[in-house]
Amino acid sequence: MARLESHFAGKHVLVTGGSMGIGVATARRLVDLGASVTLVARRPEPLAAAKRELEGRRPGARVRTLSLDVSDDAAVAEAMACELAEQPLDVLINGAGIAKPAEFVDAEPADLRAHMDVIYFGTVWMTRAVVPHFLERGGGHLVNIGSTASLIGVYGYTGYTPPKFALYGLSEVLRAELAPRGIGVTIVLPSSTRTGMLEHELETAPPQTKAIIKSTRILSAEKVAETLLRAVANGRFEVIPGLDVRLSTRAYLLLPASDERCSTARRAGPQPAGAEAAAASSLTSGAIRSGASTFGEWPTPGMTSTRVPGTSSKAWADSPARKNVSCSPKTAKVRTPRRRTRASSRSARRNSSSPSFDALYDA
Ligand SMILES: NC(=O)c1ccc[n+]([C@@H]2O[C@H](COP(=O)([O-])OP(=O)(O)OC[C@H]3O[C@@H](n4cnc5c(N)ncnc54)[C@H](OP(=O)(O)O)[C@@H]3O)[C@@H](O)[C@H]2O)c1
C-alpha cells in the first residue's frame, strides 16, 4: 500500500477506456492514491458520470476527461498534442476495447476490422502520440491491457483474439526499444472480468462460449486494477491477475507447442473457450487434476481423431462462409498425428481414468 502511494501520488495517469469497467476501477484506485487522472472514451455521458464519481472520492481530486475515438489516428494526434501541452503525463494506460464474440464463419467483416482498429491500432496511435513526450521528459510508463486471449487462441473470439496477440508482440518490442531509454512497459493479461463488456458478451456470444464463461471464476475489475498498478510500481513487464488463472494459463502454455496444444484446442469441440474464460479459469487445478479443461482434453495418446470445433458436416454445409467456397471438408473429422512424446505418455498414464471430454459432450 505504502509503495503504491509513494509511486502514484502526484503523478498524472491517462486511462483509455477510462469511463467504465477496468478503466474506471483503475482510475478510482489512482484517485485514492493521490494521482491525477485523465479519462478517455468516446461517449461524453459515461465520461461525465465517471468524473463526478471520482471527484466525489477525494477532496481536491484532479480528474479530466477527453472524448476521443482511439482508432482515429488523426483525432488522437490532435487531441493528445493539446492534452500533453496542458499537463505532463507520467503513465499511459491503453485499456479501450470492444468484444463481439462470434464464430469465424458468422463474424461480420466490419466487426473483424473494428476489433483490430480499436484494440490494436487504438493502442498504436495513443502510444505514438505519447512516446515522444516521455522521451523528452526522460521517462514514463506504458501499460497495455491485453488479455489471457493475448496468449491463447480460443473458440468464439476470432475478432478479439488476434489484436490481443498483436498487443503482446507490440509490448515486447516496445520494451526492448524503450526500456533502455527510461520508459517502462507493462502488459496486463486479465481473464474474464465482471464489467459491461462481459455482460454484453454473455448476451451475444455463441452458446458454447456463454456456457464456458458462466462456468468459470470471474475476476472483479478492482482486482485487475490493483494487480495492474502493483505491476507498474514494481516495474514488471507482464502480469496475469489471479493466482489460479496465472497457474492454469502457465500450465497450458507448458504443453509442448504445436501438436499437443493444437489437438487440445481442437478437442475442445463445441465446449470451448470464451477467450478469457477458457484461457484462464477453466484450466484451474481441478481441471488440471481431472485431465479435462475447456480447451478440451489433455493430450491423450490413442485419441487420434476428433470433431472439428462446433461443426457438423451439415452446419458447415449450411454456413454462409461455405456458400462462398468451391470445396468443403469431406468429413467433420480431423485426424491428428499420432505422436507419442514423453510428456503425452506421462499425461496419458495420469489421465487414464479420466472421462473423455468428447464423450462428456456427446452425452
Ligand atoms: N471484461 C473482461 O472480461 C476483460 C478480460 C480481459 C481483458 N479485458 C480488456 O480490458 C479492457 C477494458 O475492458 P472492460 O471490460 O473494462 O470494458 P468496458 O466496461 O466495456 O469498457 C470499455 C471502455 O472502452 C471505451 N472504448 C471502447 N471503444 C473505444 C474507442 N474506439 N475509443 C475510445 N474508447 C473506447 C468505452 O467507452 P465508449 O464506449 O464510450 O468509447 C469504455 O470506457 C479492454 O481492453 C478489454 O479487452 C477485459
- What is the Å distance from ligand 1's center to 131 Cα? 22
Distance CA 16, CA 122 (A): 9
Sign of the C-alpha dihedral computed for residues 41, 42, 44 and 45 taken in this order: negative
Distance CA 175, CA 50 (A): 31
Structural domains in the chain, CATH included, are 2-204+217-244 (3.40.50.720), 248-362 (no CATH)
Which residues contact ligand 1 via a Cβ below 6 A?
16-17, 19-23, 40-43, 46, 69-71, 95-99, 118, 122, 145, 147, 190, 192-193, 195-198, 276
Predicted model pTM: 0.79
Tens-digit pLDDT profile for residues 153-180: 878 999 999 999 999 999 999 999 999 9
Measured between its terminal Cα atoms, the distance across the chain in Å is 50
Q: What is the 3-state secondary structure (H, E, C) of the chain?
A: CHHHHHHHCCCEEEEECCCCHHHHHHHHHHHHCCCEEEEEECCHHHHHHHHHHHHCCCCCCCEEEEECCCCCHHHHHHHHHHHHHHCCCCEEEECCCCCCCECCCCCCHHHHHHHHHHHHHHHHHHHHHHHHHHHHHCCEEEEEECCHHHCCCCCCECCCHHHHHHHHHHHHHHHHHHHHHCEEEEEECCCCECCHHHHHHHHHCCHHHHHHHHHCCCECHHHHHHHHHHHHHCCCCEECCCHHHHHHHHHHHHCCCHHHHHHHHHHCCCCCCCHHHHHCHHHCHHHHHHCEECCEECCCCCCCEEECCCCCHHHHHHCHHHHCCCCCCCCCEEECCCCCCHHHHHHHHHHCCCCCHHHHHHC
Tens-digit pLDDT profile for residues 181-195: 999 999 999 999 999
Q: Which residue has the higher pLDDT, 286 or 241?
A: 241
> Which of 39, 188, 195 for mutating ligand 1's site (highest number of atoms within 8 Å of CB)?
195
Distance CA 6, CA 229 (A): 12
Q: Which ligand 1 atom sits nearest the alpha carbon of residue 218?
A: 3
Q: Which residues are catalytic?
A: 160
Distance CA 313, CA 47 (A): 48
Tens-digit pLDDT profile for residues 123-137: 999 999 999 999 999
> Which of 143, 161, 193, 224 for mutating ligand 1's site (highest number of atoms within 8 Å of CB)?
193
Tens-digit pLDDT profile for residues 49-84: 999 999 999 999 999 999 999 999 999 999 999 999
pLDDT of 306 strictly over 70: no
Question: Please, what is the angle between helix 196-204 and helix 207-215, to 10°?
Answer: 140
